[in-house]
Structure 1
């Protein structure tokens, strides 16, 4: 690959530094296209922190070539696999910007993404935008992520009880929130935990603009579809046993209760009651779990595209299972 002179960033003393944090693993097929889209951002004050989780393809070679060309790229190349969440955590710790923009290794960012998010974050702790879905080959699928998940602003810790609509690849996060969220919760996605922590104070705002092309392919860690894309192609997903899912749900709810600040007394009490109801399938705990979901369903299910009947049906289901 041809080596170019180091490219200097312009004088940007008046603009906050944005740390683009990318966690990579065997991403050689798409990573150059994503890096080009990040390097082509109109926002000028960017550092790019890339933490590679012991890739065994050509990912590290590609990253090293880019790091030679651009002085604002910093690599953390690891030779022992720790998993996606911990790998992303390494990138956060190594970053220095007052704002952090998580990045997947296989998407494409539109040029104005960071500029628009910086302008929109205001007093919120996190801002996120919409994404359009593309195929593995980069072809538009004619669908926005907001058509699959309910995108809105979030300000209640209960908004993250059983799910997350604010995707990490579309987020801009204030540094103090990311630091408060450390260590990240290993049994859940990084964006879930970051969003949950953001609701402790200034919450999450939604910018109703598309600034990411979100690539769907069979190796997605997290994808928009459970089984098929718009073309009918089935995607493989890592399937966990029911026992593992339930164990992770118990860990997640208990971690939320422990992390919730004492000053949020009402929410902490609700999370404590939820955590207790998740511990077994006794009749009393099943009843309490279902009742808690009924009582707080508008907050708990705020991220779901569901009408009133379907929300009630979801709550009934919690008598028999945990999510």
Structure 2
């Protein structure tokens, strides 16, 4: 039986420290029918030279250079539109794939009906030196299966680099929204409305946490990431159909308001508050206070540190 073609889109931007380990993990896959596309988003370090070396050594690799720095969403779409795989993986080249990652996820898809658009799994978080930090499942203990739309509205639980996506999902969505600074929340909201997700309780991927990783820039990106979240929440507000879904989105908005305000993103806090007011006429005393403080641009960063210390037992 012919194996379905799987495309791995390897997104690189200044990953020279991690690039060889990442590409070696792709080349070490036990699954053979692969299309490997490396998209370098105009790196300014030695990444392009490393990619060229690999392409010379492994002619099955396809190399795309964006020509100018365009960001993750546009870079991914360039790779996806040049691809042919039935299934697609969005792989950042500071992460690492376990050798049987693709084999296991394709096997999972073959047991699922065509209403399932995404398979995702547990992950191991590692540091700059590839040392173990913790497992995703230890921090986000509940990973639902099937219809996950309400869940993705209300909370974070999917480790993005563990996802394998059915090509038809991306075709239905038109790929990633290129107007956004990051892709995962938007992809979850738009895809989960019509497609089911399946969870594998196994580690398939090592996700690297380092100071320049995208996830570490959420509250330090001059509001660009928060602006994208606002746009996705606006989309979500137009997609909700039930009171349960609406309550989940309200939960997400209240979380976003607290963190936007306590990081002094006053403009974004106002926008989140306005969207919350459209969904809930009386959001509660806390949010009336935040609105008042925010309107006067009163900086309470120390409160965020206290909140995180109280909630998570550590400093921000």
Q: TM-score by structure 2 length?
A: 0.73
1:239 maps to what in 2?
A: 220
2:66 maps to what in 1?
A: 78
Q: Secondary structure at the match of 1:74?
A: strand
Cα distance between partner residues in 2 of 1:140 and 1:280? 36
Shift of 1:40: 0.4
Q: Does the 8 A contact of 1:158 with 1:267 survive in 2?
A: no
Deviation sequence 1:55-103 (CA, Å, 0-9, x none): 1111111111111222321111122111122212222222110000111
| 1:129 correspondence with 2:118 | no
Shift of 1:109: 1.3
The structure-2 alpha-carbon separation of the partners of 1:180 and 1:290, relative to structure 1 and needing over 3 Å to count, comes to farther
Shift of 1:194: 2.5
Deviation sequence 1:212-245 (CA, Å, 0-9, x none): 122221111125xxxxxxxxxxxx765145x766
Q: Does the 8 A contact of 1:41 with 1:112 survive in 2?
A: yes
Q: TM-score by structure 1 length?
A: 0.71
Question: Where do residues 275-290 of structure 1 align in structure 2 (5 Å cutoff)?
Answer: 281=273, 285=277, 288=280
Shift of 1:316: 7.8
In structure 2, which of residues 7, 14, 26 is the aligned counterpart of residue 38 of structure 1? 26
Cα distance between partner residues in 1 of 2:241 and 2:45? 49
| 1:208 correspondence with 2:208 | no
Cα distance between partner residues in 1 of 2:225 and 2:11? 24
The structure-2 alpha-carbon separation of the partners of 1:183 and 1:134, relative to structure 1 and needing over 3 Å to count, comes to closer
Question: Where do residues 172-183 of structure 1 align in structure 2 (5 Å cutoff)?
Answer: 172-183=164-175
Q: Secondary structure at the match of 2:280?
A: helix
The structure-2 alpha-carbon separation of the partners of 1:41 and 1:87, relative to structure 1 and needing over 3 Å to count, comes to same
Q: Does the 8 A contact of 1:128 with 1:205 survive in 2?
A: yes
1:153 maps to what in 2?
A: 144
Structure with the higher fraction of residues in helix conformation = 2
1:256 maps to what in 2?
A: 236
Q: Secondary structure at the match of 1:34?
A: helix
Cα distance between partner residues in 2 of 1:100 and 1:26? 23
Shift of 1:38: 0.6
Cα distance between partner residues in 1 of 2:93 and 2:212? 11
Q: Does the 8 A contact of 2:87 with 2:165 survive in 1?
A: yes
Q: Does the 8 A contact of 2:97 with 2:204 survive in 1?
A: yes
In structure 2, which of residues 50, 60, 71 is the aligned counterpart of residue 62 of structure 1? 50
Q: Does the 8 A contact of 2:153 with 2:245 survive in 1?
A: no
Q: Does the 8 A contact of 1:195 with 1:204 survive in 2?
A: no
Q: Does the 8 A contact of 2:13 with 2:43 survive in 1?
A: yes
Q: Does the 8 A contact of 1:289 with 1:318 survive in 2?
A: no
Shift of 1:17: 0.3
Shift of 1:171: 0.7
| Alignment root-mean-square deviation, CA | 3.5
| 1:105 correspondence with 2:93 | yes
The structure-2 alpha-carbon separation of the partners of 1:163 and 1:257, relative to structure 1 and needing over 3 Å to count, comes to same
Cα distance between partner residues in 1 of 2:287 and 2:150? 16
Cα distance between partner residues in 2 of 1:283 and 1:73? 45
Shift of 1:184: 2.0
Q: Which runs of 5+ in 1 are unaligned?
A: 1-12, 224-235, 292-314
1:165 maps to what in 2?
A: 157
| 1:27 correspondence with 2:15 | yes
Cα distance between partner residues in 1 of 2:162 and 2:275? 41
Cα distance between partner residues in 1 of 2:55 and 2:221? 37
Cα distance between partner residues in 1 of 2:277 and 2:126? 43
Q: Secondary structure at the match of 2:120?
A: strand
